Structure 1
Amino acid sequence: MIRGRTRRLVALALTLVPLALLANSFRAAPLLAPAPLPDPLPPASPPADVALFQLPTGVTHRSAAFAYRGGSFRDARDFAMTAALVKHPRGDLLVDTGFGRDVDTHFQRMPFLFRAITSYEQGRSAAEQLDATGYDRTRLRGILLTHAHWDHVSGIPEFPGVPVLVNADERRFVDEGGWRTAIARIGPPRFDTYAFEGGAYLGFPRSHDVYGDGSIVVVPASGHTPGSVIVFVALANGHRYAFVGDLAWQREGITEREERPWLARTFADGDPDQVRENLVHMAAIATRFPELTLVPAHDARAFGALPTL
């Protein structure tokens, strides 16, 4: 009888210990504070008519606890699915596309577990919003991806012939990423691969200055995906933005140096160690330049500060 009770206690312990470890992974655990960033803000000379707009295409319903360690399950958050339009006299760029009009079909291609824990609301696609304003699509030079996951590329099929700008690592990931990049292969799109031919930028060792005037500068920030990037945008009025993609889902990931909980990062991040390194580095940049607006791809508060087209 004692042995039977012991076995039951051991079985209970083996059940409770993993649950306790899982619960602990949601508790706040700030990453180590970074060393002060010595770099000055890089110079930029954007043309006077460079402009930045948001194109909200929908939301998914989450909580802060899902986004970063220390977030509350009671803190409901609508995760933005938003494209950004950068208007430039040498050709406009979309940063990601958000949800396309066929997002319902795209969503069904995701794994069952993901679909079971995900609810979303679809808005007008980026293409529909541009067309509604009478936007001249010949102005669109390309779609610049922060990375190739489904919720960032769902709208690409509505821009036939428009180049999709990715680096070589992300281009390879599109081909080899299985279900994670299945939506990015629909069409297929016309991919244009760029290189990081520029020098260091805010402590990142390499960069790609799209127009050579500092208005749009891309730096590699792998981890979430192999070719994830951060897109820095500078406007003529002095305002600067950092579109960090899914390096952090909400800005607290950077400002509080909190990575995603274990379950989320295991499912979402290809290289969690690299994500941590880039989170800490972006935290140093944010501390050094508080005037820089952080725009995580799914933080509705950050996009809320941008005008709509």
Structure 2
Amino acid sequence: MPPLVAPLPWSQPLPEASPPAEFALYHLPTGTYTTRAAFAFKGGSFGDKREFASSAVLVQHPKGDLLIDAGFGADVATHIAMLPRFVRAPHRAGPTVSSQLDAIGYDRRRLLGVLPTHSHWDHVSGLDGLRGTPLWMNARERDYAARDADGKVYRSVSKGHEIHEYRFDDRPYLGFASSYDVHGDGSVVVALAGGHTTGSVIVFVTLPTGKRYAFIGDLTWQIDGIRRRVERPWVLSKLADSDPELLRQGLLRMVSLDELMQIVPAHDLGSYQGIPLLSAQAAGRPG
């Protein structure tokens, strides 16, 4: 299959951002599951086994911290058993987000909440160990998670969580029509992408150094989707995506931004390279 037509590189100025000096970013890997490149993107090889990441990212800000996604939980085996048999895959569970936070003596009162890029099982399983932490959802994703078959695990693990429903402004951000600036300083901006689920989002993060990240959830499962400009295989897209055309538009927007920031598909382990792991040093930061 030929790649998608290459979009023009982004030529406008990047949005302004003024992250505070204390702002920081940490990777919390919680495990992996095995699949094949042929199932991940068009043109992938059946012989190319990929370890799909299930991770969270802790964003620390003096006004309050956020977790992007929640990774695998303590009951991940139970969560996988709730899935249709044809989508289950061999997995390797690591330390949960909850245990990693406890290991450094993290004060959970600093957490504003968990902001899933979307509500599928491998992004929310870890909510089972984060009781008392609010769950940040937009209205579209909240509705999707409440009714769609793929929200079964979400509906189980979200019980007892306070839901903080954030709203988008009609303010374009890097080609996406609406966005939400979490702290009002441009350091963490959530853009409505849709396509994969109806309310799936991209979380753009800018560090004090000026380095930028885009946590794109499942816009593509592997960075190959960006670098090769290819979508999911047709059958997988039919099963996984709510609006393939909208997803294609989002994918091409991110292709145009590839040279300007580090793009992190949630399940591409290598794309987290350079983001430090959570350590005791992080626990001492003001919050």
* Fold shared by both chains (TM-score > 0.5): yes
Structure 2 residue runs without a partner (length 5+): 279-287
- Identify the match of residue 275 of structure 1 among 218, 240, 247: 247
- Identify the match of residue 172 of structure 2 among 193, 197, 200: 200
Instruction: Determine whether 1:223 maps to 2:200.
Output: no
Cα distance change, pair 222–185 in 1 and its aligned pair in 2 (3 A): same
Cα distance change, pair 75–305 in 1 and its aligned pair in 2 (3 A): farther
In structure 1, how many angstroms separate the alpha carbons of the residues matched to 2:5 and 2:260? 23
How far did residue 188 of structure 1 move? Answer: 4.1
- Identify the match of residue 213 of structure 1 among 177, 185, 199: 185
**Match of residue 270 from structure 2:** 301
- Identify the match of residue 81 of structure 1 among 43, 47, 54: 54
Residue deviations 1:267-291, cap 9 Å, x none? 21111111111111111122xxx14
Instruction: Determine whether 1:59 maps to 2:27.
Output: no
Asked if 1 retains the 8 angstrom alpha-carbon contact of 2:75 and 2:128, the reply is no
Residue deviations 1:288-308, cap 9 Å, x none? xx1400000000001132110
Residue deviations 1:59-110, cap 9 Å, x none? 0111222211122222221110000000111111000001001101111110
Residue deviations 1:22-48, cap 9 Å, x none? xxxxxx431122244332111100000
How far did residue 189 of structure 1 move? Answer: 2.4
**Structure label with greater radius of gyration:** 1
How far did residue 158 of structure 1 move? Answer: 1.3
RMSD across aligned positions (CA): 1.2
In structure 2, how many angstroms separate the alpha carbons of the residues matched to 1:244 and 1:155? 19
Identity within the alignment, %: 50
Residue type matched to 2:169 in 1? E
Structure 1 residue runs without a partner (length 5+): 1-27
Instruction: Determine whether 1:43 maps to 2:16.
Output: yes
Number of residues of Structure 1 aligned to a counterpart in Structure 2: 276
Q: Aligned with 1:154: secondary structure?
A: helix
- Identify the match of residue 146 of structure 1 among 89, 96, 117: 117
Instruction: Determine whether 1:181 maps to 2:154.
Output: no
Return the structure number with greater helix share.
1
Residue deviations 1:178-237, cap 9 Å, x none? 3x1112112242211111125111111111000000110000110100000000001101
**Match of residue 282 from structure 2:** none
In structure 2, how many angstroms separate the alpha carbons of the residues matched to 1:164 and 1:217? 17
In structure 1, how many angstroms separate the alpha carbons of the residues matched to 2:41 and 2:153? 26
**Match of residue 97 from structure 2:** 126
Asked if 2 retains the 8 angstrom alpha-carbon contact of 1:100 and 1:158, the reply is yes
In structure 2, how many angstroms separate the alpha carbons of the residues matched to 1:193 and 1:110? 27
Residue type matched to 1:246 in 2? D
**Match of residue 85 from structure 2:** 112
TM value normalised by structure 1: 0.87
Residue deviations 1:94-127, cap 9 Å, x none? 0000100110111111012222xx1111111101
TM value normalised by structure 2: 0.93
